Amino acid sequence: MTTDVSAERGADVAPRVTDERPDDGVPVIVIDGKPSWRRWFADLYVYRGALQSLAWRNIRSRYKQAALGMTWAVLQPAVQVLVFTVLFGRMVKVPSGGVPYPVFALVGLLAWNLFNKIVSDGAVSLVANQAIITKLFFPRIYLVLAAGASALLDALVTTVLLVILLSVYHIAPTARLWLALPVLLGVLLFSFGFAALLAAINARWRDVQHTIPFMLQIGLFATPVIYQNSFVPARWRWLMALNPLAGLIEGFRSAVLGIPISTPWLVQVSLVISAVMTIVGVWLFRRSEANIVDLV
Amino acid sequence: MTRHVSVRVEQVSKTYRIPRPNAPRISDYVRRPAWAVRAPKSQVVTALRDVSFELHDGEVLGIIGRNGAGKSTLLKVLSRITSPTTGRVTMRGHVASLLEVGTGFHPELTGRENIYLNGMLLGMSSQQVTRVFDAICEFASVGDYINVPIKRYSSGMQLRLAFSVAAHLHADTMIVDEVLAVGDAEFQRKCLGAMRDVSRDGRTTLFVSHNMSAIEALCSRVIWLDRGAVKESGATDRVIRSYLASAVPHEGAANELVSLRGAVRTARTIGLGELSAIRFTRREGAADRPPWRVAFGEAFQLSIGFKLNRPVPDLIVATGFRNDRGEDVLTSHSCDAADSVQRTHGSTTGAATVDVRQPWLRPGTYYVEAALLSGSQLLDYVSEAATLVVDEQRSDGAPRLELKKGSTSPIWSWQFADEPLC
C-alpha cells in the first residue's frame, strides 16, 4: 500500500511515447457508431465464453431450490401428453394415423415445446437481463441463444421419454429417421430467428411480451401438434403453409413414426421460411443492437 | 522503454433522443387520423461532447466530475455497452470493464459457480479461470463459503468475491466505475492496492470516482468532465484542485458565499419563497486555507439566506451533509435545539446561521444540502448547494481514523478506573 506515488506520476513524462503499432498480435478494437458485419462475427468468436457462461447459468439455475429438480423436465411433457390423450385421444377421438395417441402427441409436443420455450424465453431475454447488458459488453444475440439452452436440455429429456414410450408400444425407427435432422434444424432456425426478432422489438415496445403467451397458446392449436394436418379441411390446408411449424412438425412426425406426409411440399416451404426467418431475425436484431441499451 | 498509446478517444459525442413527456403515443394514432396527431416531439440530450484523450500503457487515468457530467456514459462507450453517436475510440488489447460489482452473479448459484460464470462473462476462458481460481478465493477471503449459494453471502462478501474476479482478469485495459464505494475500509485499501498492481504490470486503467483521496492515490492523470465535455485534464493535483475550487460555482474560488439563485432544485413549492445563498465561515483564523475546506474536527459556521414572498408560519432552515457514496451523514434543522434563536416574525428576508461545533464528518468530500420549510411543507431544497472537503489530519492525537467504522467519527471523552466491573 505504501506505493511511491510520485514515481508513478513522473512516469508519464519520462518514456518516449510511440504511436506505431508493432505487429505483435495484440488485437485492436475500434469503437464507432457504425460497426461492420465482419466485426460482428469476429466478436461472436472472441466472446464465445460469454455464451457458454450464460447458457450454463440458465441451465444451472433452472431447477435450483426445487425439490423435484430435473424431474420437472420429465413431468411437464408427461402431464401434457396425459391431458391431451384423455381429451383429444379418448374423448374427441382425433385421428392419429394409426399411431397410439400418446406417442403421436409426444412427438408433436417435443418439437412444439422446443419452439415454444425458445421463443418465450428468447423474446424477453434482453429485457430480463437488462441489469447485465447495461453493465457489460458481449454479443447481445448470445442472450437469445443462451435462453434456448434450457429449452434444448428439456427437448433432450423429452427425447429420452419418447424413446421409452416408443419401445413400450413396440414402434421401431424406419429409414425415414434421417429426415428428423433437417426438420429439427428447421425448428431451431425458425425458433431462434423468431426469438431474435421479437427480442429486438420487445426491447423497444414491451407489448411483445404481453402478446407472446396467448400467441403461443393459440399457436399450439393452430399447428398440427395434437392433430394431423389432414384433419384440416383440404380447402383450408394452404393456410398451413403460412405456419412453418405445421410442415416441420408434420415432417418430424413422419420421420420418427414412419407415417407418410400428407403434403410433402409443405415441409419444403417450411424449411425455406425457417431459413428466411433466421436471416431476417438476425439482421433486425443487429440493426437495433448498437443502441439497444439506450432503449431497453 | 517505449510506451504505446493503448486507448485513443477521438472526438466522441453521444446524444440521446428522449421523448417529451406529452409526446403522442401509438394509441393516439389509433384514435385519430395521423394528420390530426401532432408530430412526435422528442428532445436531444447531449451526454458527451467532443471528448478526446489518449492513454498510454500502464497509465491510470482518473475521471472526475459532478453527477450527470457524463462520466458513466463515457465508460459505457469505452466498454462498448452503448455506441458513440459520432467519434471513434481505438483500444489495444483486451478490455475488461467493471462498471458494477457482481454483474451477472446469480444468487442461486454457489461462489464457485459464480466465479467461473462471471470470469467467463468478463472474457476469460474456463481454463484461465481455473488458473487464477485459488488466487481469487484467497483475495476474496470467502473460505468455506465457496460452495454455498451466494444469496447467503453478506453484501460485503459478494462484493469481495466480485471484485476479486475482476482484479484477476488478464485484460490490457481495465475500466472501473465507482465500485469501491461499497466495501469496508480494509477491503477498499486492498482493492486500491490490487489496482495499483494492475498498472505496474503495464496495464492501463480508467477509473471513475467521487472519492478524491482514491483518485489522488491511484491516478497519474485526471480528466475532469463537465456537462459532457472535458473541462480540464492533466496532472492529478492540479485538476483536483481546480475541480474542488469550482465546487463553489458562482462567485469564484476565493469567495465563501455561494448564490443559490441558479442552483438545481430537486423539490420546491413554487411561489412561497426560496433559498438565496449559503455562506461558509471558519471559526478560528487559518485564513490561508481555502473556504469549504476544513481539517478533520475543525469547527465552522454555515449561514443560509432566504427570501419569502409572504410571511409563513413555522419557518425552518435546514442543512445536511451527504458523502461521496450518496449517504446522508448528518442533517440539522433550525428548530432542533431548544436554545436556538428563533427569527422575528413578519419579515420576508433573512438568514440562519448554524454553528457546526463538533463536525464528526470523516475526511472526504461532502455535498452540503440546504432546505427551507414551513412546518412540514418543503418550500425550497437544493441538494448540492456546495461541496465541503474535510481533510485528514495527521497531527499528534489525531483520531485513529483507519481503525474506525461508520460514516462519522465522533470524539467522545472516556474515563478510566482501576477496578474491573466484575
What residues does each domain of chain B span? 1-93+172-187+201-246, 100-171, 257-394
Task: Determine, for residues B3 and A17 on separate chains, whether the beta-carbon distance falls below 8 Å.
Answer: yes
Residues of A in contact with B74 (CB under 8 A): none
CB contact B189 to A (< 8 Å)? yes
A281 band by pLDDT with thresholds 50, 70 and 90: very high
Average pLDDT, chain A: 82
Among candidates B58, B86, B109 on the partner chain, residue whose Cβ is nearest the Cβ of A61:
B109
Chain B (60-89) residues lying within 8 Å, Cβ to Cβ, of chain A: 60, 76-89
CA of B215 vs chain A CAs: smallest distance (Å): 11
Which CATH number describes the domain made up of B100-171? 1.10.8
- Please write the tens of the pLDDT for every residue from B92-126: 888 888 787 777 788 888 889 888 888 888 878 88
A81 band by pLDDT with thresholds 50, 70 and 90: confident
Task: Determine, for residues B83 and A60 on separate chains, whether the beta-carbon distance falls below 8 Å.
Answer: no
pLDDT confidence of residue A63: 75
What is the value of pTM for the model shown? 0.71
DSSP A72-124: HHHHHHHHHHHHHIIIIIIIS----TTS-HHHHHHHHHHHHHHHHHHHHHHHT
pLDDT confidence of residue A10: 36
Choose from A6, A32, A60, A293 for mutation: most chain B CBs within 10 A: A32
* Domains in chain A: boundaries: 42-295
A10: exposed, middle or buried (Cβ count in 10 Å: 0-12, 13-18, 19+): exposed
- Please write the tens of the pLDDT for every residue from B286-302: 556 677 888 888 888 89
Among candidates A17, A52, A137 on the partner chain, residue whose Cβ is nearest the Cβ of B81:
A137
CB contact B108 to A (< 8 Å)? yes
Rounded to a whole number of angstroms, the CA Rg of chain B reads 25
Among candidates A29, A131, A132 on the partner chain, residue whose Cβ is nearest the Cβ of B91:
A29
Among candidates B60, B82, B94 on the partner chain, residue whose Cβ is nearest the Cβ of A294:
B82
State whether CATH 2.70.50.60 applies to domain B257-394: yes
Residues of chain A above pLDDT 70, percent: 91
Choose from A26, A31, A125 for mutation: most chain B CBs within 10 A: A31
Chain B (338-357) residues lying within 8 Å, Cβ to Cβ, of chain A: none
The chain B residue lying nearest A26, using CA atoms, is B93
CA of B235 vs chain A CAs: smallest distance (Å): 8
Task: Determine, for residues B91 and A1 on separate chains, whether the beta-carbon distance falls below 8 Å.
Answer: no
The predicted model gives A263-274 an average pLDDT of: 87
- Please write the tens of the pLDDT for every residue from B244-256: 767 554 333 445 7
ipTM (interface pTM): 0.76
To the nearest 10 degrees (0 to 180), the angle between helices A207-222 and A180-204 is 150
CA A161, CA A72: separation in Å to the nearest integer?
Answer: 12
State the maximum Cα–Cα separation within chain A, in Å, rounded to a whole number. 88
Is 90 exceeded by the pLDDT of residue A188? yes
Answer with the residue of higher pLDDT: B211 or B318: B318
DSSP, collapsed to helix, strand or coil, labels residue A163 as: helix
The chain A residue lying nearest B176, using CA atoms, is A135
Choose from B9, B81, B88, B147 for mutation: most chain A CBs within 10 A: B81
CA of B265 vs chain A CAs: smallest distance (Å): 26
Residues of chain A above pLDDT 90, percent: 26
Residue B332 pairs with which residues in a beta bridge?
Answer: B319
CA A143, CA A55: separation in Å to the nearest integer?
Answer: 8
**Phi, then psi, of B341 in degrees rounded to 5:** -80, 120
Contact B234, B227 (CB under 8 A): no
Task: Determine, for residues A57 and B59 on separate chains, whether the beta-carbon distance falls below 8 Å.
Answer: no
- Please write the tens of the pLDDT for every residue from B151-183: 888 877 888 888 788 778 777 888 888 765 555
Q: β-pairing, B204-208 with B173-176?
A: parallel
B267 band by pLDDT with thresholds 50, 70 and 90: low
Chain B (219-238) residues lying within 8 Å, Cβ to Cβ, of chain A: 220-221, 235-236
The predicted model gives A229-255 an average pLDDT of: 82
Choose from A1, A4, A6, A12 for mutation: most chain B CBs within 10 A: A12
CA A173, chain centre distance (Å): 26
CA B39, CA B23: separation in Å to the nearest integer?
Answer: 8
CA of B397 vs chain A CAs: smallest distance (Å): 22
Chain B (111-170) residues lying within 8 Å, Cβ to Cβ, of chain A: 113, 116-118, 120-126, 149
Among candidates A16, A33, A293 on the partner chain, residue whose Cβ is nearest the Cβ of B85:
A33
The chain B residue lying nearest A57, using CA atoms, is B117
> Which range, of A201-210, B337-346, B362-371, averages the lowest pLDDT?
B337-346
- Please write the tens of the pLDDT for every residue from A286-295: 988 877 777 7
- Please write the tens of the pLDDT for every residue from A133-184: 888 888 999 999 999 998 999 999 999 999 998 899 888 888 888 888 999 9
B33: exposed, middle or buried (Cβ count in 10 Å: 0-12, 13-18, 19+): exposed
Q: Is A30 left (phi over 0), alpha (psi -120 to 50) or beta?
A: beta
Residue B64 pairs with which residues in a beta bridge?
Answer: B224
Average pLDDT, chain B: 79
Which string of b and e fits B352-367 if b means at least 16 CB within 10 Å?
Answer: bebebeebbbbbbbbb
A18 band by pLDDT with thresholds 50, 70 and 90: very low
**What CATH architecture is B1-93+172-187+201-246?**
3-Layer(aba) Sandwich (3.40)
Is 90 exceeded by the pLDDT of residue A279? yes
Q: How many CB pairs under 8 A join A and B?
A: 148
pLDDT confidence of residue A29: 80
A172: exposed, middle or buried (Cβ count in 10 Å: 0-12, 13-18, 19+): exposed
The predicted model gives A80-91 an average pLDDT of: 84
CA of A53 vs chain B CAs: smallest distance (Å): 5
Residues of B in contact with A131 (CB under 8 A): 103
